[in-house]
C-alpha cells in the first residue's frame, strides 16, 4: 500500500487535500491522471447503467436538501456510529472496530476508554445569514434521497412506468470518526447510485438477481481480478428490517476485505417514509389499468472513490525483468483495462535532437487524439517506457528513422512488452481493435 500511495503521488493520481497546510483528514484531491482515471470509472458506470439501457433515466439532485428529507430517511435519528474516546491519549475509535473496551489499542492503557456514545455522521451547515437552528441543513450523506423525493417529478416527466430506474452520480459527505486507508474511507466522496422501481407483481426478486448479475458483469468487463472480488450475501440479521435481500460487493484490499458497493431490495420503505412525513403522494398511477401502487425498490449504491482505488490497487504490479545485456531490474506497471487507463497511447520520437522525428511523432499523436487518450512525450527511451508503464499506458508508439523511410512505427504492448511494426495508416485500426 505504501508503494501504491507513493506512486499515486509521484505520478499525479492522488494528493492529500490541502497538503501545504498539513492536510485534512478524510479529504483527498485527484491529480492530472487521477482525475481522468476517476472520470473513466464514472463514465464506465454511466455507460453501462444509463446509456446502454432504455429503462434507466439520468438524474442530478442538489447536495443540500430540505432538512426533513433526512428526518424521513432516518438519518437524523439513526445515522450514528458508536464513538469511544481514550481519556489518556485522546484518540477516537469506532466502537465496532474495537475487540474490547478494556484497553486502548493505541496507548495500551487499561480503563481509559469511555463508554460508547452515539455520533451522528452527517456534516452540518447553515443556510442563510442567521445561525439559528431554523437554518440548519446537512450535506447529503448519500445521493439516493434526491431521487426518492423526486420520484413523481421523474416518472411523470420522463413518461416512465415501473420497471424503470433512475441513476445519479454525485458527492456525498460523512463525518467519519476514523477516516483512513488512503481513499477508502473519506469524509467527502462520490457515489453512483441506481434506484430501480418495480411493480409488486412477484418479479421483484428476479429483478434483484438480474441487477446482481449485471453488476458482476461490470466488474468483470473492466478487468477487476475475480479472485479479489466477492459478493457477500447479508443475513437477515445484517440487513435493515425492511430489506428483503442484500449483497455487499467487496474487494480484497491490502488490509482485508472492504465494501465497494451495496445492492439491496429495499421494499417500499423509502417512498413510504417520504409520503408519511411530507403528506404528499409518491405512489405510481398506472393510466392503463387505473391501478395505484407504491413501487418496490432495488438499489445499487457504489462508491466511485473506492472503485477508483480498487482499479489502482488491482492494476498494480511489480516484476523483475532482465534486459538484453543480462541486467536485472524492477518494472512497476499499472495493468489498467484500456477503457479505464488515463492515457491509452503514448507517442514518442526515438531521438530528441532530430526535428524530423519530433515533427512526425507530434503529427501522429495529433492524428490519434480525437479517437484515443493519446500523449506525446520525449526524452530517454528507457525512462519514457518506465513512466508510461507506471501510469498504465497500454500502448506506446515509437517513431524512429525507419518511420521516415517507410511510414511504419513500433508499437509496444505494456503487458507483454512485445513490439509490433505497424504501418502508420493502419495504426488507428490496430489500436481501436485493442483498446
Ligand atoms: P461502510 O460500512 O464502509 O462505512 P456503508 O455500508 O456505510 O460503508 P453505504 O451506506 O452502503 O456504505 O454506501 C454505499 C457505498 O458508498 C459504499 O459501498 C462505499 O463504496 C461508498 N462509501 C460509503 N461511505 C464511504 C466513505 N466514508 N468513503 C468512501 N466511500 C464511501
Q: Are 93 and 119 in contact (CB under 8 A)?
A: no
- 271 CB-side CA count, 13 A: 22
The pLDDT of residue 312: 98
For ligand 1, is residue 253 a contact (CB within 6 Å)?
no
C-alpha 257 – ligand 1 centre gap (Å): 13
User: What local confidence, expressed as pLDDT, does residue 133 receive?
Assistant: 67
DSSP string, 96-162: GG-S-SSB-TTT--BS-BPPPEEEE-PEEEE-SS--SGGGEEEE-S-SHHHHHHTHHHHHHHHT--S
pTM of the entire structure? 0.94
Kindly state if the Cβ of 303 falls inside 6 Å of ligand 1. yes
CA 253, 256, 257, 260 dihedral sign is negative
The pLDDT of residue 302 is 98
Pocket test for ligand 1, best of 26, 219, 262, 264 (most atoms within 8 A of CB): 262
pLDDT value of residue 54: 96
Question: Is there a contact between 118 and 83 (Cβ–Cβ < 8 Å)?
Answer: yes
CA of 176 from ligand 1 middle (Å) equals: 10
| Nearest CA residue ID for atom 9, ligand 1 | 262
Q: Which atom of ligand 1 is nearest to the CA of 179?
A: 27
Is residue 189 within 8 A of residue 311, CB to CB? The reply is no
Terminal-to-terminal C-alpha distance of the chain: 28
Distance (Å) from CA 160 to ligand 1 centroid: 29
Q: Which atom of ligand 1 is nearest to the CA of 176?
A: 27
Q: Which helix (H) or strand (E) holds 257?
A: strand 256-267
| Orientation angle between helical segments 32-46 and 304-315, nearest 10 degrees | 110
Element (H, E) at 286: strand 284-286
Q: Is residue 259 a contact partner of residue 248, using CB atoms and an 8 Å limit? A: yes
Is the peptide bond preceding residue 163 cis, with omega within 30 degrees of 0?
Answer: yes
Using DSSP, state whether 291 is helix, strand or coil: strand
CA of 264 to the centre of ligand 1 (A): 14
Residue with CA at minimum distance from ligand 1 atom 10: 142
Q: Is 195 in the pocket of ligand 1 (CB under 6 A)?
A: no
Give the Cα separation of 148 and 162 in Å (integer). 14
- Ligand 1 near 259 CB (within 6 A): yes
**Structure-block grid coordinates of residue 187:** 469524509
Average pLDDT, consecutive stretches of 10 residues, N- to C-terminus, the chain (435 residues): 96 98 97 98 98 98 97 94 92 89 92 92 90 85 98 96 98 95 98 97 97 98 97 97 97 98 98 98 93 97 98 97 87 97 98 95 96 96 95 98 97 96 97 96
Atom 24 (ligand 1): residue with closest C-alpha?
Answer: 185
Nearest alpha carbon to residue 195 among 337, 106, 296: 296
Q: What pLDDT, on the 0 to 100 scale, is given for residue 157?
A: 97
DSSP 19: G
Q: Whose CA is nearest to atom 21 of ligand 1?
A: 303
Ligand 1 atom index nearest CA of 185 = 28
Measuring from atom 23 of ligand 1, which residue has the nearest CA?
A: 303
Amino acid at each position: 500500500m505504501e508503494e501504491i500511495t507513493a506512486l499515486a503521488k509521484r505520478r499525479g493520481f492522488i494528493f492529500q487535500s490541502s497538503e501545504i497546510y498539513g492536510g485534512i483528514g478524510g479529504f483527498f484531491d485527484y491529480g492530472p491522471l487521477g482525475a481522468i482515471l476517476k472520470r473513466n470509472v464514472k463514465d464506465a458506470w454511466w455507460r453501462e447503467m444509463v446509456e446502454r439501457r432504455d429503462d434507466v433515466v439520468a438524474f442530478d439532485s442538489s447536495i443540500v436538501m430540505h432538512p426533513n428529507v433526512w428526518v424521513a430517511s432516518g438519518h437524523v435519528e439513526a445515522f450514528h456510529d458508536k464513538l469511544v474516546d481514550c481519556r489518556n491519549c485522546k484518540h477516537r475509535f469506532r466502537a465496532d472496530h474495537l475487540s474490547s473496551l478494556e484497553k486502548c489499542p493505541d496507548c495500551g492503557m487499561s480503563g481509559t476508554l469511555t463508554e460508547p456514545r452515539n455520533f451522528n455522521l452527517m456534516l452540518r451547515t447553515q443556510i442563510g445569514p442567521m445561525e439559528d437552528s431554523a437554518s440548519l441543513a446537512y450535506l447529503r450523506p448519500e445521493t439516493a434521497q434526491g431521487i426518492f423525493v423526486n420520484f413523481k417529478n421523474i416518472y411523470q416527466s420522463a413518461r416512465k412506468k415501473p420497471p424503470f430506474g433512475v441513476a445519479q452520480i454525485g458527492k456525498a459527505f460523512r463525518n467519519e470518526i476514523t477516516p483512513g486507508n488512503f481513499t477508502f474511507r473519506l469524509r467527502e466522496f462520490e457515489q453512483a447510485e441506481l434506484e430501480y422501481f418495480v411493480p409488486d407483481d412477484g418479479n421483484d426478486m428476479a429483478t434483484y438477481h438480474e441487477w446482481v448479475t449485471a453488476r458482476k458483469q461490470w466488474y468483470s468487463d473492466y478487468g477487476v481480478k475475480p479472485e479479489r472480488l466477492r459478493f457477500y450475501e447479508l443475513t437477515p440479521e445484517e440487513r435493515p428490517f425492511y430489506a428483503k435481500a442484500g449483497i455487499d460487493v467487496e474487494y480484497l484490499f491490502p488490509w482485508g476485505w472492504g465494501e465497494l458497493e451495496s445492492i439491496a431490495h429495499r421494499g417500499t420503505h423509502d417512498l413510504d417514509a417520504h409520503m408519511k412525513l411530507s403528506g404528499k403522494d409518491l405512489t405510481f398511477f398506472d393510466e392503463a389499468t387505473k391501478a395505484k401502487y407504491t413501487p418496490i425498490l432495488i438499489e445499487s449504491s457504489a462508491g466511485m472513490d473506492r472503485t477508483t482505488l480498487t482499479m489502482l490497487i488491482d492494476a498494480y504490479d511489480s516484476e523483475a525483468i532482465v534486459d538484453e545485456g543480462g541486467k536485472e531490474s524492477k518494472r512497476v506497471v499499472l495493468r489498467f483495462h484500456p477503457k479505464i487507463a488515463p492515457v491509452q497511447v503514448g507517442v514518442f520520437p526515438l531521438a530528441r535532437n532530430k526535428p524530423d522525428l519530433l515533427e512526425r511523432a507530434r503529427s501522429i499523436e495529433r492524428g490519434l487524439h480525437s479517437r484515443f487518450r493519446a500523449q506525446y512525450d520525449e526524452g530517454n527511451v528507457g525512462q519514457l517506457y518506465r513512466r508510461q508503464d507506471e501510469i498504465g499506458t497500454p500502448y506506446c508508439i515509437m517513431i524512429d528513422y525507419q518511420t521516415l523511410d517507410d511510414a511504419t512505427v513500433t508499437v509496444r504492448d505494456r503487458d507483454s512488452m512485445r513490439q509490433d511494426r505497424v504501418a502508420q495508416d493502419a495504426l488507428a485500426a490496430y489500436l481501436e481493435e485493442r483498446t
